[in-house]
């Protein structure tokens, strides 16, 4: 299991993408983020191979005002 933790200063729809080393998408979900700390748990499937994976969190603000929205990118490893 992996838990993606992040902090928001505004409410936003969050899209989470996980990619393997070849750049293929292996997981996608969306989450209604609230101001403050947020967490998205992912119980990865048994068939997921050991190795490095990349993730990207994309916020989409739910407001009429222009807000700087920053993508969050990172990596993690699956070792069993």
Domain borders along the chain are 2-78
Query: Nearest CA to 4 among 59, 76, 52?
Result: 76
Which fold would CATH assign to domain 2-78? Immunoglobulin-like (2.60.40)
Predicted pLDDT at 70:
77
Looking at residue 37, what is its pLDDT? 96
- What is the predicted pLDDT for the residue at 41? 96
User: Residue 67 has what pLDDT?
Assistant: 60
**What stretches in the chain show pLDDT beneath 50?**
none
Q: Indicate the pTM of the whole model.
A: 0.85
Please give the pLDDT value at position 68: 62
């Amino acid at each position: 299991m992996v838990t993606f933790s992040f902090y928001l200063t505004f409410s936003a729809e969050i899209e989470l993408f996980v990619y393997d080393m070849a750049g293929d998408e292996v997981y996608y979900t969306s989450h209604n983020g609230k101001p403050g700390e947020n967490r998205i748990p992912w119980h990865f499937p048994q068939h997921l191979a050991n190795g490095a994976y990349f993730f990207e969190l994309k916020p989409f603000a739910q407001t009429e005002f222009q807000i700087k929205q920053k993508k969050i990118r990172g990596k993690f490893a699956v070792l069993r």
